[in-house]
Chain A
Amino acid sequence: MAHADKAPSNPVAGFFKIEGTAIALVFVLLVILFMLTAPRAFLGYRVYMSFMATVPPPMIIALGLTLVVVAGEMDLSFPSVVAFASYVFCQLYQSYDLTWLALVAALVTGTVMGFINGLVVTKLGIPSLIATLGMLFLWGGLVTVVSNGASLAIPDIEGRLIHTVLAGRIGVIPVQFLWALAVAVVVWLILNRHRFGESLLFIGDNLKVAKVVGIAIDREKIKLFTLMGLLSALAGVFLTLETTTYFSQAGMGYLLTVVAAVFIGGTSIFGGAGKVVGTVFGALIVAIIEAGLVASGVAGFWTRFYIGLVFIVSVTMNAAIEDPDKVPLLRQLRSRARN
């Protein structure tokens, strides 16, 4: 299990055993780096406000995906769920002037889609990677058919109560970032303080053992995918409120960045262990890299090269700060130094 680490011997190592501290340090170092290379942008507040406005949707999805990965599963259908929820919300607002009911309908839509994803995975026995890849196309195709491919714009929602509450500004701080942090707290509590989270950790760690201890595997997995659908729909509503637009490809750009955020955050690709705090910082790192590089004057074709480089360095640093022996190269060097 993830939380069975033995007590570290020195206080610094002990500090970095606290969940998320290592990746938080990587994030802080990255911000300091960009403050040095792009002081105009990163010593001001606006760029951070921009991150806080745009990061919540991928962060909320990444939090849900963290639970999915903990259980040893994968969900690639979330971009289409985002788009579907966005469509339902926009359509109900535009046609019937519904706001809170439109929110509820969008969330119910995502929840039902997640539930069906869960059924496909558990009752048809298709591996979740393949099943949700199929559902990505299925839901994506369906929302394009239903919307007739058209985009919807709801610019007049700005200033309505729902926009103020969910995506307004407290001073200059985008409210949606606070909601995303609240979701992170809830997901952390689910994973670390709730029976459901414990079941997911068991399932991801060892399916056979999970069965032996009496966990209803299918039921828990269906609950998991349902929750993922709900969170994806919530992300879709936040995205819509921020951009005040629905278009059928909404969410597609998050596919790789969300998966990257989860794994940069330190959640195990093999399941059985997950770091919710790590995912929060992983999402922030993914969001900040390109903007930071561009503001630093890296333009043209080098941007993508450096994005990859910073990704690799971030993941390696996260592992090295937490435990240098997790990085084979460092382990070998330390071993040689000892000898």
Chain B
Amino acid sequence: MRRITKTIAGMALAAMVAAPGVSAAAEAVDSGMTIYFQMGGNPGDTATLARELGARDAARVLKVNLIEQHAGWDPQKMIVQAKEAIAAQPDAIVVMGHPGTNAMKSVLDEAKADGIVVVVNNNELPGTGLSYFGLDNYGAGKNLANLTIENGKLKEGDKVLVYGAFVEGAAGADVAKGATEVLKEKGIAFTPLQWSNEAVQDPALSVPVLVAYLEANPDTKAIIVPGHGGITAVLDKVLKQAGKQPGEVVTSGFDISSAAIQGVRDGYITVVLDQQPYLQGFMPVAAAVLQKKYGLAGLQLNTGGGYLTKDNVDALAALVKDGIR
């Protein structure tokens, strides 16, 4: 009993000594800010969930009123949502960079005039000097292609299908550009195939398209999906329905999911790039608070660079189940 009393007394003394510090910390933590946050895709999809969880965790810690916006990766909608967010006069907005710097200029000017902090997420807005948390998408595309070549032992003269976005400004366009440039440099022939809007929303619809492509082009050595977790997750279905054995066609893509893990375990998916979207959720909220309260701006963090192969699949599986990876 005496020991417990001593412990409580000690804690009380420590609290009194630390009181000024605690008070300052409480002020920093209890931000009382409202932040509009563009999550990019659709609620809960494989490329969005971890970002949502990260943002919510940061908002809880920093006591931020977090307003989530989902654009289904539509750059036009992202601009509209940024304008809607500014109209609500929050303390900060976190925007996706997919529309491009020119398209976002008026939005950024308006936010600056209103004293609203802007943080960029997932896709950079070059030349703005704003805090950015995400991949170097172009570099990620190059990384994905290099990993595919390395793990799939691709060589000059091999034929590759790149199934992605080739329209400037679309989600994944920079990734596709980076990937195809590496293939060009290495002398590997590739076919760029634009994914449909329907397949982006419901990846199962991409299966017969890719099966038909493999049937028509049986000498295809690899399929690279630069930037879509859902389509990456159905690559094993594609190979199975095309009658291919695990590893017969090298496949690679983006964003770790439960299905992608199974595909890697079964040997149908070779490499999956991980952009750690949880960080893309958590860090922008923290950066917005730091900038609003202390003027700390211009922060940059490359959240990616990791990847999933059969060598590390078990270690990452548990985190994926919780939506963190």
Contacts and interface: CB of A to CB of B under 8 A. Distances in A.
Interface stretch (A22-30, A38-46, A175-183): A38-46
Interface stretch (B57-65, B76-84, B144-152, B204-212): B204-212
Contact of A250 (B202, B237, B241): B202
B52 interface: yes
Interface in B191-236: 191-194, 196, 198-205, 207-209, 211-213, 215-218, 230, 233-234
Chain A interface mostly:
helix
25 contacts: A41-B215, A47-B208, A49-B241, A50-B211, A50-B242, A51-B208, A53-B207, A53-B208, A144-B43, A148-B323, A149-B52, A150-B323, A153-B257, A153-B259, A153-B261, A155-B259, A248-B44, A249-B43, A249-B44, A249-B230, A250-B202, A254-B198, A287-B208, A300-B193, A303-B194
Interface string B31-55: 0000000000011111011001000
B216 A295 contact: yes
Interface of A: 38, 40-41, 44, 46-47, 49-51, 53-54, 57, 141, 144, 147-153, 155, 239, 242-245, 247-254, 256-257, 287-288, 290-292, 294-297, 299-301, 303-304
A290 B196 contact: yes
Contacts of A150: 44, 49, 323
The 7 A-B residue pairs with the shortest CB-CB distance, nearest first, are A253-B202, A149-B44, A153-B258, A41-B215, A291-B212, A295-B216, A248-B44
Nearest to B68: A149
Given A150-B49, A155-B259, A296-B216, A248 B241 contact: no
In this complex, the member of B42, B52, B202, B212 whose beta carbon has the largest number of chain A beta carbons within 10 angstroms is B212
A257 B257 CA distance: 26
A40 B216 contact: yes
A54 B258 contact: no
A151 B207 CA distance: 19
Interface string B150-169: 00000000000000001100
B262 interface: yes
B243 interface: yes
B208 A151 contact: no
A292 B212 contact: yes
Nearest to B193: A299
A42 B300 CA distance: 50
Nearest to A292: B212
B204 A242 contact: yes
B139 to A, nearest CB: 24
A38 B216 CA distance: 6
B212 A151 contact: no
In this complex, the member of A47, A49, A149, A152 whose beta carbon has the largest number of chain B beta carbons within 10 angstroms is A149
